[in-house]
Structure 1
Amino acid sequence: MEDTEELLSAVRVQEISNGQAAVVPDGYDIRNLAVLGEVPPRKAQTVAVLDIETLIDCVKREDEDACDRKSVIYVNDEKVVAVFNHYDSGSAPGWGDDTATMELHKTVEWDNWMGNSGQAMCQKEFVEFIEENFNDIKSPNPADMLTIVSKFDMHRQVVFKSAYRSSDGETKVTYDESNNTKSGEIDLPTEFTIVIPVIQGAEAFTTYAIKVRLKVRLTNEGRLFFTYTLYRPDVPERSAVKDLSERIETALPENRVIRGAIECSTHSTFAN
């Protein structure tokens, strides 16, 4: 008992620049007894959500439960983070360790089109690609687009002779059919338009029309290759983050929405 009283008497609280610190004898430390309770003293967690509407609902519920504080939402190119205890109460700072996060992943449609942009494809490969992504094409009519690029049965002996851009803006490709000495010409569009979403879980607010440029190349053997490139894909990428931020601002008019990132403080921040 005397040893315990002597130990307690050796513990003192000392003022430091960041507040107060407890000074204890060598070989001892201080523990928060609240962690030994049946329930934690407060919430401190990171919730991962898969779509923006779920994150908005989480913020509304948390703010309703808190009553005297509002969550703060940070939006950047990589993720959206809602910090429920950014403030303790009113404008007093909180620990910022109770959050909901939505990672911003690109959609399958975006990855499909970006992944093949600039890659040369033979006619068979390009036809298959158009078939797989048929519903993304807005203009020309996707059925017409597919008909044009798959004009020839892959088993027919066709030799493409020349490709040139005509005055009407289309690419004209001339060909010979070796099995019946038939010649002809087909018109290919130099660009087409796709409509695809950019961000998973926010498709309704991040879907855009994108121009796609189409080029053809003939080999010395008379084979036809297609290459498409998305025109300024950085524009819909930037627009997606901006429109996502505006969606949050509209749904949560009383909350601060900040374009940026946050590194929340922890207890160790004030330890020294």
Structure 2
Amino acid sequence: MTTGGADLVRMPGAGRLPADTATVTGRNLRRLVRVPTLIAFATAQPVMFVLLFTYAWGGAIHPPGVTTYIDYALPGIWVLAIAFGASQTGVAIADDLTTGMIDRFRALPMARAAVLAGRVTADAVRNLFVLVLMTGVAYAIGFRFHAGPAAALTAIGLALAVGVAFSWIFALLGLLVRDPESAGIGGLLAVIPLIFTSSTFVPVATFPGWLQAFAKVNPITVTVDALRALCLGGPTSAYVWHALAWIGVLLAVAIPAAVIRYRPAVGRQRPA
């Protein structure tokens, strides 16, 4: 038998990580398909974001360098929808903790990290669906990619990477709070200030001077600016590398912290 962290690096757990992750991913995706309300909310909310922000604010906000507001806003709306959706990662992890599902996973001969990785992977699949849906709706109301198909695919890939980082952060939150309602509220409280103090909807230059200093280093601003550059065209390399650096830092912190927290969290679910 292995104990502590050894089962994360010894066979069979570590060797089975890809297969176990795929199994847990399939379980989470099947649950999504079998619960109609989850599909409804996963589709309705992003579409509402695209339509409401475009038609409610598009006539009042005229960022420099763009003809239509939807061209400017869609990259930010992508991040908004992904961030809000990622909060459900924490809710799902906390729910599995409280219902004893993770206790069942722990009793199986499987890689421990697969439970978290499977949840994050399933959410990445959902995010891809959401991104495609939002882009289709945006195209119908005037959005266009101006930098070609390669840049467009890179933008989608970068947005998915942002979603993975958010999902790991909220998985850690779910393990910390251990309550689905608290995880959902905590996730939104973390996202809303970052979104609205970034370049998501308006240029940072329109903020008060004291807020601009924070907005310019806000990881949401860095990411949205990179996505916007890929969508609108122009210089992109510096923006993309800065965004990837932020994503790398967030993953480097969140993944080990979540895996470390996962073990004592599930341990407390079992009787002594």
TM-score, normalised by the number of residues in structure 2? 0.26
Q: Which has the higher strand share?
A: 1
User: Relative contact order (alpha carbons < 8 A, sep ≥ 6): 1 or 2 greater?
Assistant: 2
- Structure with higher Rg: it is 1
